[in-house]
C-alpha cells in the first residue's frame, strides 16, 4: 500500500480505502468528502463530482473510526436471556425478536443479539464490554436479574421489555398482566364455574407472579376459593400437562393457564382423562400466539401483541437516543380477551 503524508492508502485494485484517498482523487480536502457523505453543506457541483467518485470507487467509511470520532455506532444491543428450552418453544420470543428487528432495520439501526447461552454475569460483562453500543433492549422477566440491574445502573440507555416493581423509573414496554389475568379469570367465572384452577408460569418471573395475583384477585372478588387450585408450571407444554393432571385430581371445572403453550399441554391432559373441553373443563390460555387458534377446540386466551411490544421497545429506545434529555419512556400496551370454543364452544352446563 502506498501512503502519503495525510494517510491516504490504495489497495492493490486501486480502490479508495480512506477519506484521504477520495480527497486526493477529487482534488478536495478530506473534510469536504466527509461532508458529502454525511450531508453537510457542500456546493452542488462539488457534491456531484465527489458523489461520482464515491460511486465509482465503492468507498465505505470505516465504521470503527466513525464511531470513535462521533461517539455513535448506530448499533443497539438486544438481550434475551432465557432458558434455551423456553426460548423458541413457542413463538413468544420469536415474535418479540422480529418486532424489534423489524423496527430497528426500518430505522437503519444495527442489532447485536445475546441469547441465554451464558450466565447472566458473563452476558452483562460482554454487553458492557461492547462500549460502542448506542443503547440496549433487554427482556426483563425475572424478578431478580443482574443483567437488568447492571444495565440500569450503567450509563447505557436501556429499554426493558417487561418490568418489575423496582423498575418504575426505567424505560419499559409492558402489558398489565395482573389486569389481564383478572379479566380471563372473571370470564371463566361468568360461565358459572366455581372450581377454577390456575397453572402458573415459571415462578420467579414477573409474568407468572402477576398473573397469579390477577387470578387470585378475580377469585376473591367473586367470593370463590382459590386454595389448592394453583399448580406451578413453567410456561412449557409438558408442565401444562403435568400441572393439569394435579388440578383435575381436585375436580376443577375450568383452568386458566399462564400461557398458550401450557394450555395446549393441559388440553392434552384433559383429553387423556376422557373429559371434554369446554363441557367438563373450560380452558383458557394467555398470549394468543398462532398456536391458540389452531388447537382443537380453539383456545380462549388473552391477546397481547408480542410483536408490537418488540416494535414499541425499539421505537422507545431510538427516541431515547435521539433526545437523551427526555424523561424515561413507559409504554403499557393494551390486551384483549379472545373468547373461543375452549370456554364457550360446547353445550352449556347449567
Partner DNA sequence: TTGTACGCGTTATCAT
Partner DNA sequence: ATGATAACGCGTACAA
Give contact residues for DNA (rule: CB under 7 A): 3, 6-7, 9, 17-20, 27-32, 34-35, 37-38, 40-43, 45-47, 61-62, 65-66, 68-70
Nearer to DNA, 108 or 350 (CB): 108
The closest of 168, 162, 258, 165 to 208, measured between CA atoms, is 258
Q: Closest approach of Cβ 16 to DNA, in Å? A: 8
Nearer to DNA, 49 or 209 (CB): 49
Instruction: Render the burial of 56-75: b for 16+ CB within 10 Å, e for the rest.
Output: ebebeeeeeebbeeeeebbb
Note whether 115 binds a copy of itself by CB under 8 A: yes
Note whether 63 binds a copy of itself by CB under 8 A: yes
The item of a copy of itself, DNA, none sharing an interface with residue 168, based on CB under 5 to 8 Å by kind, is none
Nearer to DNA, 6 or 117 (CB): 6
| Cell numbers for 9 | 492508502
The closest of 121, 117, 113 to 96, measured between CA atoms, is 113
Residues 117-136 that bind a copy of itself (CB under 8 A): 117-118, 123, 126, 128-132
| Residue labelled with grid coordinates 418486532 | 99
Half-sphere exposure (CA, 13 Å, Cβ side) for 166? 11
Note whether 108 binds a copy of itself by CB under 8 A: yes
Q: Where does the chain show beta strands of DSSP type E?
A: 75-80, 110-115, 135-139, 158-161, 171-175, 196-199, 230-231, 254-257, 282-284, 301-304, 330-333, 335-338
Note whether 101 binds a copy of itself by CB under 8 A: yes
The item of a copy of itself, DNA, none sharing an interface with residue 38, based on CB under 5 to 8 Å by kind, is DNA
Residues in the chain: 350
The item of DNA, a copy of itself, none sharing an interface with residue 132, based on CB under 5 to 8 Å by kind, is a copy of itself
Q: Closest approach of Cβ 63 to a copy of itself, in Å? A: 5
The H or E element containing residue 270 is helix 260-272
- Distance in angstroms (rounded) separating the CA atoms of residues 134 and 275: 54
Note whether 110 binds a copy of itself by CB under 8 A: yes
Q: Choose, by CB under 8 A, the member of 51, 112, 222, 321 that binds a copy of itself.
A: 112
Q: Closest approach of Cβ 34 to a copy of itself, in Å? A: 16
The item of a copy of itself, DNA, none sharing an interface with residue 113, based on CB under 5 to 8 Å by kind, is a copy of itself
Q: Return the ∠ at Cα 157 (arms to 108 and 201), rounded to 5°.
A: 95
Q: Choose, by CB under 8 A, the member of 102, 149, 176, 253 that binds a copy of itself.
A: 102
- Distance in angstroms (rounded) separating the CA atoms of residues 302 and 52: 55
- Which residues contribute to the site for a copy of itself (CB under 8 A)? 60-65, 67-68, 73, 75, 84, 87-88, 91, 94-95, 97-98, 101-102, 105-106, 108, 110-115, 117-118, 123, 126, 128-132
Amino acid at each position: 500500500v502506498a501512503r502519503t503524508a495525510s494517510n491516504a492508502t490504495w489497495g492493490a485494485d486501486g480502490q479508495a480505502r480512506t477519506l484521504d484517498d477520495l480527497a486526493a482523487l477529487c482534488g478536495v480536502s478530506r473534510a469536504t468528502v466527509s461532508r458529502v457523505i454525511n450531508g453537510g453543506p457542500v456546493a452542488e457541483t462539488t457534491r456531484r463530482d465527489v458523489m461520482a467518485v464515491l460511486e465509482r470507487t465503492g468507498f465505505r467509511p470505516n465504521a470503527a473510526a466513525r464511531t470513535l470520532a462521533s461517539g455513535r455506532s448506530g448499533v443497539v444491543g438486544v438481550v434475551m436471556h432465557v432458558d434455551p428450552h423456553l426460548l423458541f418453544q413457542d413463538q413468544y420470543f420469536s415474535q418479540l425478536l422480529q418486532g424489534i428487528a423489524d423496527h430497528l432495520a426500518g430505522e437503519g439501526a444495527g442489532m447485536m443479539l445475546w441469547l441465554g447461552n451464558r450466565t447472566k454475569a458473563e452476558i452483562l460483562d460482554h454487553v458492557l464490554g461492547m462500549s460502542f453500543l448506542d443503547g440496549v433492549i433487554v427482556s426483563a422477566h425475572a424478578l431478580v436479574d443482574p443483567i437488568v440491574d447492571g444495565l440500569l445502573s450503567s450509563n447505557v440507555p436501556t429499554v426493558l421489555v417487561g418490568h418489575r416493581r423496582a423498575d418504575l423509573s426505567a424505560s419499559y414496554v409492558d402489558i398489565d398482566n395482573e389486569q389481564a389475568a383478572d379479566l380471563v379469570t372473571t370470564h371463566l367465572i361468568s360461565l358459572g364455574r366455581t372450581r377454577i384452577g390456575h397453572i402458573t408460569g415459571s415462578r420467579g418471573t414477573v409474568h407468572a407472579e402477576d398473573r397469579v395475583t390477577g387470578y387470585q384477585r378475580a377469585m376473591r372478588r367473586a367470593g370463590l376459593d382459590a386454595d389448592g387450585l394453583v399448580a406451578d408450571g413453567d410456561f412449557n407444554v409438558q408442565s401444562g400437562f403435568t400441572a393439569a393432571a394435579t388440578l383435575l385430581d381436585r375436580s376443577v371445572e375450568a383452568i386458566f393457564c399462564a400461557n398458550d403453550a401450557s394450555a395446549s399441554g393441559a388440553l392434552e391432559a384433559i383429553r387423556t382423562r376422557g373429559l371434554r373441553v369446554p363441557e367438563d373443563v373450560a380452558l383458557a390460555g394467555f398470549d394468543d400466539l398462532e398456536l391458540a387458534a389452531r388447537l382443537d377446540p380453539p383456545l380462549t386466551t388473552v391477546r397481547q401483541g408480542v410483536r408490537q411490544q418488540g416494535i414499541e421497545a425499539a421505537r422507545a429506545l431510538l427516541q431515547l437516543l435521539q433526545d437523551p434529555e427526555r424523561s424515561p419512556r413507559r409504554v403499557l400496551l393494551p390486551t384483549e380477551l379472545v373468547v373461543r370454543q375452549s370456554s364457550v364452544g360446547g353445550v352449556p352446563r347449567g
